[in-house]
Amino acid sequence: MTTNAQPRTQWLGRWGFILAATGSAVGLGNIWKFPYITGEFGGGAFVLVYLACILAVGVPVMMTEIALGRRGRGSPVDALRRVIAESGRGSAWSLLGWMAMLCGFLILSFYVVVAGWSFAYLWKMLSGGLAGSSVDEMAAIFGANNASPLNLGFWSTLVTVATMVIVGKGVQAGIEKSVSWMMPGMVLMLLLLIGYGVFSGGFPAAVDFLFSFDAGRLSSEGMLAALGHAFFTLSLASGAILTYGSYLPATTSIARTTLSVALADTVVALMAGLAIFPVIFANGMSPSSGPGLIFMSLPLAFQAIPMGTLFGILFFVMLSMAALTSSISMVEATVSWLCDNKGLSRRSASWGTGLVLWLVSTLAMLSFNVGADWTLYGKHFFDWLDYLTSRWMMPLGGLGMVMLAGFVLKSESFREELGLSPGWHALWLFMVRYVSPLGILMIFVDALGITRVEFGLHWPWLLAILVAVTLLGELVSPRLRRTLCS
Ligand code: PFF
């Protein structure tokens, strides 16, 4: 049952939602960020914690978002308003929808800059601009690429325009059509790159690095990074998944779809590691070179091996496509809201959103050059956007949604929408009521700088806290529910 009287567009094909949501999830987070944070936080042990975070927090939150989107059949603002009204609850909760929509928009404002790097490097590879460069020259090229506002602005504007062209064409003709060839194309290119890695000589070292578990290398900082990254990589609490969920046909299983998307996202992140690290190791480079890993170390490594330029080009085409399929999902919430509430056509809504986005992203882009000194509490505008969205808005939005689902909304709504057997439903409810909130609270405790939660050392305590909170929560939940709903 939906609460919206107006018919809403739905994905055309059986794979429409899975491809679009996987396209949203798989992006710079998987190919740029995951490999370098894995490098920084110690390889296999980090990967294991990351997988646990995806399962314990990512999957339940994603199921909740899709259910909210499909139930409310609208942008995050409209969908939440309807679902909340259906349960007869206080409208303050619909602020969550506004925050999610804003969060997606703000992420895109800095995401287009990094996606612009990818397009710029693709061009450099194609035009031979990186050929024969030394380590120092690679760093200088990366610096020069950022130092010119015209250059950096050109590439981020290109990404903004490409995003808006696709979104402007609509859900089926724009988003669904583009992901239906970009996603398979991307996976194919990734497979070719892994094949190349197998012959590069560094493959065994890469497998060892990614999959050998050494508990001694687990750090609390790494665990928090894994938890935060689980949100970012699954595009949670940013309006993207919720809005895509609003186009999901009523008969599709939300649980199965969510598991497919989370699995595909994780597999692609690991595949990216298997494509990048062999090339890095084959050249005796360090896996922990940070954000410059794929823009400095990798192009350098590609140069040193036969057919490296060709595979380098392939790599940056793949990265650019991954970035685009994510960026289109970040504005869909805003565009959908504008169309539904302001009577705009898709095209006008997209270009209007694109214009504002361009202004904000230009400010973010200037952080790398003329605005390098414009800092507030030691952070540039670019860093502020990243910090506010990943450390605060995404976890806060996630927390709000699971609390909404776990304690506030009528449980029948979710029973109907999720359609799970009683056992699985109870497990989902336990996750959204206790496990996900506790995980998210740890991010806040850390972000507030109160204390670093040393859960690597104290996991029996954490388990005890979880049990205690669950018991307490179940005891007082009717009262808690009344308070939250008032
Ligand atoms: N999941 C994307 C990535 O890993 O690159 C980033 C992202 C997309 C975040 C869409 C938020 C969003 F709404």
Q: Can you give the residue ranges of every domain in the chain?
A: 14-451, 454-486
Of 232-246, 275-289, 306-320, 436-450, which range is least confident?
Answer: 436-450
Mean pLDDT score across all residues of the chain: 89
User: What is the C-alpha to C-alpha distance for residues 334 and 329, in angstroms, rounded to an integer?
Assistant: 10
- Using one digit for the tens of pLDDT, what is the confidence trace for 416-431? 999 999 999 999 999 9
pTM of the model: 0.91
Q: Is the CB of 30 under 6 A from ligand 1?
A: yes
For residue 375 the two structure tokens come to: 């800092």
Q: Is the CB of 233 under 6 A from ligand 1?
A: yes
Per-residue pLDDT at 121 exceeds 90: yes
- Ligand 1 centroid–CA 42 distance in Å is 24
Q: What sign results for the dihedral spanned by CA atoms 261, 191, 330, 296?
A: positive
Residue 5 pLDDT = 47
Q: Amino acid identity of 76?
A: P
Give which of 447, 315, 291 is closest to 368, Cα–Cα.
291
What is the percent of the chain where pLDDT is above 70? 94
Of 82-91, 109-118, 164-173, 176-185, which range is least confident?
Answer: 82-91
Range list of H helices, 148-253: 149-168, 177-198, 203-211, 220-233, 240-245
Residue with tokens 């590879």: 125
Q: Which one of 329, 390, 394 would you pick to mutate in the ligand 1 pocket, going by the greatest count of ligand atoms within 8 A of its CB?
A: 329
| DSSP designation for 290 | G
- Ligand 1 centroid–CA 135 distance in Å is 31
Give the ligand 1 atom nearest the CA of 323: 5
Phi, psi of 178 (to 5 degrees): -70, -40
For residue 99 the two structure tokens come to: 């925050």
Q: Is the CB of 354 under 6 A from ligand 1?
A: no
Residue with tokens 């798989």: 26
- Using one digit for the tens of pLDDT, what is the confidence trace for 153-171? 999 999 999 999 999 999 9
CA atoms within 13 A on the CB side of 226: 30
User: What is the C-alpha to C-alpha distance for residues 49 and 444, in angstroms, rounded to an integer?
Assistant: 18
Q: Is the CB of 2 under 6 A from ligand 1?
A: no
- Ligand 1 centroid–CA 233 distance in Å is 6
Cβ contact 397:68 at 8 Å: no
Q: Is the CB of 330 under 6 A from ligand 1?
A: yes
Q: Is the CB of 329 under 6 A from ligand 1?
A: yes
Range list of H helices, 247-345: 254-282, 298-303, 308-342
Cβ contact 408:481 at 8 Å: yes
Phi, psi of 44 (to 5 degrees): -50, -40
- Ligand 1 centroid–CA 68 distance in Å is 19
Q: Is the CB of 24 under 6 A from ligand 1?
A: yes
Q: Is the CB of 76 under 6 A from ligand 1?
A: no
CATH superfamily, domain at 14-451: Amino acid/polyamine transporter I (1.20.1740.10)
Per-residue pLDDT at 453 exceeds 80: no
Give the ligand 1 atom nearest the CA of 234: 1
Smallest CA separation from ligand 1 atom 11, residue: 235
Find the mean pLDDT for residues 172-182. 95
Give which of 18, 331, 320, 17 is closest to 166, Cα–Cα.
331
Q: Is the CB of 106 under 6 A from ligand 1?
A: no
